[in-house]
Amino acid sequence: MPAPTAEELRSTARVVSIPMRVRFRGVTHREALMLRGPAGWGEFAPFPEYDDIESAAWLRAAVEAAWAGFPEPVRGRVPVNATVPAVAASDVEPVLARFGTAPAVKIKVAERGQTLDDDVARVAEVRRLLPVARLRVDANGGWDVPAALEALEALAPYELEYAEQPVMSIADLRTVRLELRRREISTLIAADESVRKAEDPLRVAHEDAADLIVVKVAPLGGVRRALDIVAQAGLPAVVSSALDTSVGISAGVALAASLPELPYACGLGTLSLMEGDVSATPLMPDGGWLPVRAPEVSEELIERYAAPAERSAWWLERLERVVGLL
């Protein structure tokens, strides 16, 4: 299908701002620009700190969703993990309660202004509440090599499935991975930012720096490109969201449903961290699973969560700039 013109994109653009239940990655309101095309809805929502070149991939993903649709799935539902932000240990239980049954839990660590003791207490509380769940931690590259090794050794008794992006550079990822093996710590290393923010998303695999990769549809430029990256990397993949509405979540589900193998629960349950959505039937996990379906976007909800005029103008100006880079 021919790509839409800039005018077609502008004419369907709607900007929403949805409050978060808890602060997540510094975000208190999740803003997104919604686009409607012949295949349905797409979501353009790169975080504000992303430059226009990085944001172009997010727009390609939105255009794919709204104008081309997704590949045929090979499964009808996908497993989903719960997500615990960098909250106090005392706040873990109510956060988990919003997710219901979950086969795995991703726990944020290495939050700026917090300590390793805070991280250990948070992970320990999740393990106490869910003694048989698979646990993984996500540092978003917040540690250096010595801090990562100290933290992962301290967290090893909680039997982590993997640590996501403990350090930022690919060289440091490889160092941490090899040192964990030397210390006989079984925690696997997953690469996220080293895949979605890298000029060469396959470098982390070529340099033997990770055991698995985390893939997100929008930063990689769409479901089809993400499928290609996973195939070329030759590593197990975890599909995760970028704090999306149901529209963005549906793209992640489409990717997970199209992968030949899906060995890990997906990080696609993040709507539980938001106060609202653009769909009256949001893509929320049921018993730890998400169905493969397109969300029914509600005009009333788009109006309810419409961003303030100045923020809408900011997003439309960003759209104008990024369209020129496609």
Residues 142 and 49 grouped into a single domain: no
Query: Among this protein's residues, is 216 annotated catalytic?
Result: yes
Domain range for 87 is 77-298
Residues 147 and 63 grouped into a single domain: no
Q: Is residue 275 part of a domain?
A: yes
Flag whether pLDDT at 71 surpasses 70: yes
Residues 29 and 41 grouped into a single domain: yes
Residues 32 and 89 grouped into a single domain: no
Flag whether pLDDT at 184 surpasses 70: yes
Q: Is residue 55 part of a domain?
A: yes
Q: Is residue 1 part of a domain?
A: no
Query: Among this protein's residues, is 108 annotated catalytic?
Result: yes
Please state, in angstroms and rounded to a whole number, the distance separating the CA atoms of residues 242 and 219.
Answer: 8
pLDDT tens-place string over residues 207-248: 999 999 999 999 999 999 999 999 999 999 999 998 999 999
Tell me the mean pLDDT in the region 34-44: 97
pLDDT tens-place string over residues 281-309: 999 999 999 999 999 999 999 999 999 99
Active site residue: 77, 216, 224, 225, which one? 216
- Would you say 192 is a known binding-site residue? yes
Residues 238 and 259 grouped into a single domain: yes
Flag whether pLDDT at 24 surpasses 90: no
The pTM of this model reads 0.93
Q: Is residue 249 part of a domain?
A: yes
> Please, are residues 317 and 6 in contact by the beta-carbon 8 Å criterion?
no
Continuous segment of H or E residues that includes residue 231? helix 223-233
Rg, the chain, Cα only: 19
Residues 134 and 198 grouped into a single domain: yes
What CATH code is carried by the domain that includes residue 316?
3.30.390.10
Continuous segment of H or E residues that includes residue 250? helix 246-258
Active site residue: 14, 77, 108, 122, which one? 108
What does the pLDDT read at residue 227?
97
Q: Is residue 10 part of a domain?
A: yes
What does the pLDDT read at residue 199?
78
Q: Number of folded domains in the chain?
A: 2
Residues 82 and 39 grouped into a single domain: no
Flag whether pLDDT at 1 surpasses 70: no
